[in-house]
Structure 1
Amino acid sequence: MIAVSGVAGSGKTTLGRALAKELRLPLLDLDTLTVPLLDQLHGTLFGDHWLAPAHAPAVRPARYSVLRATASEVVATAGGAVLVAPFTAELTGGRAWTDLLDAVAPAELRMVNLRGSAKLFARRRAERSEPRDQHRADTGPAASPAVPHLSINARLTPGQQRFRVLRALGRRTPLDLDSPVFARSFDAVLFDLDGVLADSTASVLRSWDQFADEMSLPAAVVESNHGRPARPLVQRLLPADQVDDGLRRIEDIEAADVLSIEPVPGAGDFISRLPDGRRAVVTSGTRRIATARLAAAGIAAPPVLVSADDVRCGKPDPEPYVSAAARLGVAPARCLVVEDAPAGVEAARAAGCGVIGVLGTVEPSDLSGADLLVDGLDRLRVDHTPAGLRLAAVDQPAAAGG
């Protein structure tokens, strides 16, 4: 049993639908269950809109009573469901939370909470132009939930959100154990940073949103640039005499936005088991940004770190990976690269390296050039053999149900 919560504009319905489809569970959306009836009553029982604060003491409990009763019936007949609602009172704990747990018993409830800035949610509400949004009271920033929950950044795409929820539920992507990469030996492993070691996708998107806003540029300009250096993008967006200032500004923003960064599952353990002479980080960001993100993820920077400051041509050019191999004193063909972006996979392939694609940033089809796809580095280990480093699969528990 999954509950998806978040304020209006957080994208909870989109995520709920995606999860329900993936898990083949009924979807119970608070708005779908209650809004059509309430809209019909507007003008008869309700002189002003039913979302008006004056009606909150009666309307809110009634709406959630409908959701709980329907959820209880669905659990009894279908075994589970995906619930979608703000769950504002439930997230604070207390009676509202226990009432929800009782309604879905004996199913175990997993609460997912979409988090983001009030500015982002306000912009989304304005873009969707739902009439009822005009009647919502401004309650200020949402408080952090007091109940057990999985926090998902609302700035991520629906696909990125769905991936993280399913992974947290234990629904792991099967490994291709027949991949030739398991039969090869390597002298070193070269890691991309963002999306491979540090789950920094939301931070990157937030940073470029802020940059776009400050520079009066179109929103969401970074999506097609993931895994590539910032300079070419800034050069396309700004006049030539503003490029250097723009690069300094985006570096400042990205280096400061690290509070929400976490390690990708298994990343810290995987890289720490490799000696310094067998590992390197190769990133399209600057050294300053890379060290800030590694520190936020709790991963020590290795002695060999190739950044945008160290190369003339960034990914998808092979130079960054060729440079890392040279600094380690090994041949690129004896290196295994771990990447999450098409540009990085292309760069690694051009350098002659083996490639692991880490899911979670782009669709699996976008990483088709990789030798193997994984949904986290906790799925793999590296064994030290006389012939070199050998990749091996780590047994995982069976995928969880809905």
Structure 2
Amino acid sequence: MVQTETPSRASIMIGGKAFRAVLFDMDGVVTDTARLHLAAWHRLFQDLTERGDVGNVELNDDDYRQYIDGKDRGRGLMSYLDSRRVVVPPGTPDDSPNAITIRNLLRRKNTYFLDELDRNGVEVIAPTVRWIQQLRSMGVRTAVVSASKNARFVLDRAGLTNYFDARVDGIDTATLGLSGKPDPDTYIEAARRLSMSPSECVVVEDATAGIRAGRSGGFGLCVGLGPTENFAALTESGADVAVSDVSQIDYLQP
């Protein structure tokens, strides 16, 4: 990853406006790891349900998109548990491994995700990667903004670390005391690292939480990415345009 002090003057035109940087979510936008996260969350809540620890907390895909997708691990867990009116104690480092605490559940979810990653590897979303390559060849700056604390590991596994001028991830969120998505802090930090104003940047997101972050942060354009059945939720959350493939974004080089 390269971070420089001198901002590029290159830009692209979308909808008659010039943008000098494109900020990408990672899971589900650059890498096809959203499905691995979903599988890990399914496994966690299925385990809890089968053990009878907290009642029936089986997770479906709609629940995942509404309460968890795009948020940091802790915020997503609490959001979903709150929706099911389930109260779980925060826990301490001295808890036994089998104790039902927020701390242990987050640890177990991460273990399940890494298991999925080991079994399935990291697949990239080819149209997005091709567009990133095109943007960089034109001199347009790029950044990745992820809620995941595993972001660097995933990008390394995918061979994409050097595709971005800046990365803001879950470790940065914790270290810098940033609020995660749907708050705009992480995207604003990425723009700052690129020496850009939010109005000069495009945000590309597949999660409604990320779209809300881009909209509330004053970013110049918010692109929602996903299947057509998700378009309504993305546009209702503030996406200026929704596409199923980034190649559908109509842009020009000035």
SS of equivalent residue, structure 1 residue 196? coil
Shift of 1:284: 1.8
Aligned with 2:167 (options 305, 310, 316): 305
C-alpha displacement at 1:305, in angstroms? 1.1
Q: Report the secondary structure of 1:273's partner residue.
A: helix
- Residue 101 of structure 2 is aligned to residue 239 of structure 1: no
Q: Note if 1:325 corresponds to 2:186.
A: no
Q: CA deviation at 1:252?
A: 2.6
- The residue identity in structure 1 corresponding to 2:135 is L
Describe the superposition over 1:265-285 as per-residue Cα deviations: whole angstroms up to 9, x where unpaired: 411111123348711101122
Counterpart pick for 1:202 among 35, 38, 63: 35
Note closer, same or farther for the CA distance 1:315–1:199 as it changes in structure 2 (3 Å cut): same
Pick from 205, 208, 211 the counterpart of residue 44 of structure 2.
Answer: 211
What letter matches 1:370 in structure 2? A
Paired residue type of 2:227: G
User: Is the contact made by 2:27 and 2:34 (CA closer than 8 Å) also made in structure 1?
Assistant: yes
Alpha-carbon offset, residue 261 of structure 1 = 4.5
TM-aligned CA distance change 1:227 to 1:306, over 3 Å: same
How far did residue 334 of structure 1 move?
A: 0.7
Distance 2:132 2:108 in 1: 31
Q: Which structure would you say has the larger RCO, counting Cα contacts within 8 Å and 6 or more residues apart?
A: 2
- The separation in 2 between residues aligned to 1:261 and 1:186, in whole angstroms, is 30
8 A contact 2:144–2:168 mirrored in 1: yes
Distance 1:234 1:363, change over 3 A: closer
- Between 212-221 and 320-329, the greater mean CA deviation after superposition: 212-221
Q: Cα distance 1:205–1:313, how it changes in 2: closer, same or farther (>3 A)? A: same
1:254 corresponds, among 97, 109, 113, to: 113
Is the contact made by 1:201 and 1:361 (CA closer than 8 Å) also made in structure 2?
no
Deviation at 1:228, TM superposition (A): 1.4
SS, match of residue 161 in structure 2: coil
**1:228 match:** 71
- List alignment gaps of at least 5 residues for structure 1: 1-179, 386-402
Alignment map for 1:9-24 (pairs within 5 Å) = none
The alignment partner of 2:223 has SS state of strand
- 2: distance between equivalents of 1:277 and 1:248? 38
How far off its partner does 1:373 sit? 1.7
Q: How many angstroms does 1:200 deviate by?
A: 2.6
Report the alpha carbon displacement of residue 362 of structure 1 after superposing the two structures with TM.
Answer: 5.6
Whether the 8 Å CA contact 1:282–1:320 is kept in 2: the answer is yes
1:279 aligns with 2:121: no
Query: 2:131 pairs with 267, 270, 276, which one?
Result: 270
| Contact 1:189–1:337 (CA under 8 A) maintained in structure 2 | yes
- Retained in 1: the 8 A contact 2:165–2:194? no
The 8 Å contact of residues 316 and 347 in structure 1, kept in 2 or not, is answered as yes
User: 1:41-120 maps to which residues of 2 (within 5 A)?
Assistant: none
The count of aligned residue pairs is 204
1:270–1:381 Cα contact (<8 Å) kept: no
Secondary structure of the corresponding residue to residue 373 of structure 1: strand
SS at match of 1:280: strand
Query: What's 1:342 paired with?
Result: 208
Is the partner of 1:336 in helix, strand or coil? strand
Q: 1:210 aligns to what SS in structure 2?
A: helix
Partner residue of 2:232?
365
Cα drift, residue 234 of structure 1: 3.0
Task: Write the letter of the residue equivalent to 1:226.
Answer: D
Question: How many angstroms apart in 2 are the aligned matches of 1:285 and 1:334?
Answer: 25
Matched AA of 2:105: G
- Is the CA contact 1:255–1:292 (under 8 Å) kept in the aligned structure 2? no
Structure 1 CA distance, aligned partners of 2:129 and 2:23? 14
- Quote the offset at 1:298 in angstroms: 4.8
Maintained 8 Å contact 1:181/1:372 = no
Q: 1:253 to 1:292 in 2, by over 3 A?
A: farther
**C-alpha distance in structure 1 between counterparts of 2:72 and 2:195, whole Å:** 25
- Relative to structure 1, the CA distance from residue 209 to residue 327 in structure 2 (aligned partners, 3 Å threshold; closer, same or farther) is same
Q: Measure the CA separation in 1 of the matches of 2:234 and 2:132.
A: 21
Secondary structure of 1:315's aligned partner: coil
Q: Does structure 2 conserve the Cα–Cα contact (< 8 Å) formed by 1:185 and 1:334?
A: yes
* Residue identity matched to 2:230: E
CA distance in 2, matches of 1:308, 1:350: 20
How far off its partner does 1:328 sit? 0.8
Classify 1:372/1:233 alpha carbon distance in 2 versus 1 (closer, same or farther; 3 Å): closer
- Taking structure 1 as the reference length, what is the TM-score of the superposition? 0.46
AA of the residue aligned to 2:143: A
Per-residue Cα deviation, 1:272-303 (whole angstroms, up to 9, x for no partner): 233487111011222x2x23443455533524
Q: What displacement does 1:306 show?
A: 0.9
8 Å Cα contact 2:20-2:140 kept in structure 1: no
For residues 383-398 of structure 1, what are the structure 2 equivalents within 5 Å?
383-385=252-254
